[in-house]
Amino acid sequence: MLGFVYIDVQPNADITQYIALTPWVQKNRAAAQKFAQAIIKGAQYLNANEAAAREANLEFTKLNPALKDKVMLPRFATAVSAQEVQRTQDLMMRYGLMKQPVNVTQRVLPLQ
């Protein structure tokens, strides 16, 4: 191993993103906003409650309990960073994981 992705390669990377097609969001704006608000609320809670974040990590990943307090927790983002998505894409293009780039600024849109 040369490095840890979220520590050495791209420390500010968003570890989770949710994607919806524009027509669906336009048709279901209230549901999309409620979903986004729930994700943000969860991220804020986990960022403010490390013990709860460690318990959730243990439960959902089936992590060996002996490692629960040794794992480095990620930053739980409350917004998508277009800059970090672009950086991820740049790395994916560089290492052949993507064949064609996409226009990130047209794809990463906040709910308003």
69 & 85 share domain: no
CA distance 88 to 14: 9
Tell me the residue length of the chain.
112
103 & 52 share domain: no
70 & 92 share domain: no
Q: Structurally, how many domains does the chain consist of?
A: 2
Q: Which residues contact 81 (CB under 8 A, 6 or more apart)?
A: 12, 14
Confidence at residue 37, expressed as pLDDT on a 0 to 100 scale: 93
Confidence at residue 8, expressed as pLDDT on a 0 to 100 scale: 82
Q: In terms of Cα–Cα distance, which of 91, 82, 61 is closest to 17?
A: 82
Using CA atoms, how far residue 11 sits from 6, 74, 106, in Å, is: 5, 9, 24
22 & 48 share domain: yes
Residue 58 identity:
L
68 & 99 share domain: no
Q: In terms of Cα–Cα distance, which of 60, 18, 61 is closest to 39?
A: 18
Q: Please report whether residue 102 resides in a domain.
A: yes
66 & 33 share domain: yes
50 & 85 share domain: no
Q: In terms of Cα–Cα distance, which of 35, 16, 32 is closest to 80?
A: 16
28 & 71 share domain: yes
Q: Which domain holds residue 53?
A: 16-76
Confidence at residue 50, expressed as pLDDT on a 0 to 100 scale: 95
Per-residue pLDDT band for 111 (boundaries 50, 70, 90) equals low
Q: Please report whether residue 54 resides in a domain.
A: yes
41 & 68 share domain: yes
Q: Which residues contact 74 (CB under 8 A, 6 or more apart)?
A: 6, 15
Check: CB of residue 61 under 8 Å from CB of residue 69.
Answer: no
Q: pLDDT digits over 12-69, tens only?
A: 787 777 888 889 999 999 999 999 999 999 999 999 999 999 999 999 999 999 999 9
